[in-house]
Amino acid sequence: MKVSPFVRKLILVFGDICCIYFANSLAIMPILGSSEYKFNFEFLSILILLMFFMFNVYGLFSLVRKRLTDIFLNLLVAILNIYIICIAITYLINELDYSSMTILISAILSFVLLGVWQYVCHKWEWNNFPKHHGVLFAKDNEKKILENKLSKTYGLENVLQDVSHGLNDNLWPKKIDENYYVFIGSSLDIKEKEAILCYARSKKKQIFLVPTLYELACKNTGLLLVDDVPMQRVTRLLLTDEQRTLKRCIDIIIAILSIILLLPIMIVTAIIIKVSSKGPIIYSQERVGLYGKTFFVHKFRSMKQDAEAKCGPILAAEDDNRITKFGRFIRATRLDELPQLFNVLKGEMSIVGPRPERPFFVEKFVAQKPEYDYRHNVKPGITGLAQIAGKYNTNAYDKLIYDLLYIQDVGVKTDLMIMLQTFKVLLTKSSTEGVQNSK
């Protein structure tokens, strides 16, 4: 039985609400009396509102393109965030006086019931979602890279039925006719892209494009009428005064609260570093910040003392023997980044923004891609879009695209979404893997 995507999503959301309701009801079953059940509905409304927000952040209203492990990980982080906020609310509002044990039982039951429901919906969506094929338009090395990436993407492993190198093949319109997905690489010139886009859109195909700086510049454009000639105003990739002021205020508030809450963890981390290996607790390193000005970023030391004395500046690799045993743990959990909260207070960094890079590597990246310098139009951040969407070993150009996309969409909502997504990254091993060794 085929059901429209809209109806499938309605059923999914309705089931999510039912799971939250039953979990919360079962958690308070030992409590008797009508007043408690009235209170249950008041608390339930808060849970459902938080569920809508958190499930949207972690993509739990769309399951078909996710592995089950990703769904359960997203669900775990969403439930943790929902109930942590609920605990805070119960402390602030006396009328919502749930016991900690009741909230814990409700959280566990919510995860179990929602996990089963999302598993059922995932299987249902997978069976009902149409299996389309696709064609790739790219050149040279990019073609091989995209083929490899698509073959590893859940739900798209077998999507490519044919591969084209651009418009050299006179049969390219026929290839589009036979496939639903059209993938376009950045290696094609603008005229080739335009021809493919126009034809694919006329055939109502789903198009995916690897953006270059030109495509990014055309995003979020404004309209200017020059007499009767329409012109697009290209974004300057700069923050307005209002954006900078609001972002700075939020940075200060979050940094102060985070330092207060995380101070015990920071003290324990510092003690273990001092006891487990020789060298200073804090490692300071020169990085490039706003408008290309350098500053010293602070981190808990995760490598051996004088790790680069012999090899010079190199990126951390997989199984890097310069990293201490405890260093691997704090890098995996991102505890090594906590001292950067003081960089935020000093105004050198922001909570969210492009990760600051060392001058040695910045010079190399700018020489290869001059547009890399645009990422310095905002303050560097502790976390960023490139960190939640990519991995540590994602190449510099792809990270640059994420950073430029962030600068174009910077705002309170965007920053909040990235902060919440960062919790999931902390539980994802691949996000902290080093670059591949070339042997």
At 244-300, the pLDDT tens digits run 999 999 999 999 999 999 999 999 999 999 998 888 999 999 999 999 999 999 999
Structure token digits, residue 190: 């603008």
Task: Give the pLDDT of residue 438.
Answer: 40
The average pLDDT across 192-218 equals: 91
The pLDDT value recorded for residue 324 is 87
* 437 vs 337, residue with greater confidence: 337
**pLDDT confidence band for 32 (50 / 70 / 90):** very low
Whether the CB-CB separation of 371 and 377 falls below 8 Å is answered with no
Give the H or E element holding residue 295: strand 294-300
- C-beta atoms surrounding 264 within 10 Å: 9
380-385 mean pLDDT: 94
Judge whether 326 and 418 are in contact, CB under 8 Å.
no
Looking at the predicted structure, is the pLDDT value of residue 198 above 60?
A: yes
Could you tell me the CA-to-CA distances from 80 to 50, 51, 106, 111, 384 in Å, in that order? 11, 11, 11, 9, 21
pLDDT band, residue 310 (cuts 50/70/90): low
Spatial distance between the Cα atoms of 15 and 13, rounded to a whole number of angstroms: 5
Q: What is the rounded average pLDDT of the residues 335-340?
A: 94
Secondary structure letter of residue 65 according to DSSP: T
Per-residue pLDDT band for 101 (boundaries 50, 70, 90) equals confident
Gap between the Cα atoms of 15 and 20, Å rounded = 9
* Mean pLDDT of the 111-131 span: 88
DSSP, residue by residue, 371-390 = GGGGGGGS--EEE-HHHHHS
Query: Using an 8 Å Cβ cutoff, are 281 and 301 in contact?
Result: yes
If you average pLDDT over residues 103-122, what whole number do you get? 93
d(CA 373, CA 21): 50
- Distance from CA of residue 238 to its chain's centroid? 22
Share of the chain above pLDDT 70, in %: 88
pLDDT at 277: 86
From the list 394, 399, 389, the residue with the least C-alpha distance to 369 is 399
Most confident of 28-37, 100-109, 280-289, 322-331: 280-289
How far is Cα 286 from Cα 288, in angstroms, rounded to an integer? Answer: 7
126-158 tens-digit pLDDT: 877 778 899 999 988 889 899 999 988 888 888
CA angle 421, 19, 84 (to 5 degrees): 40
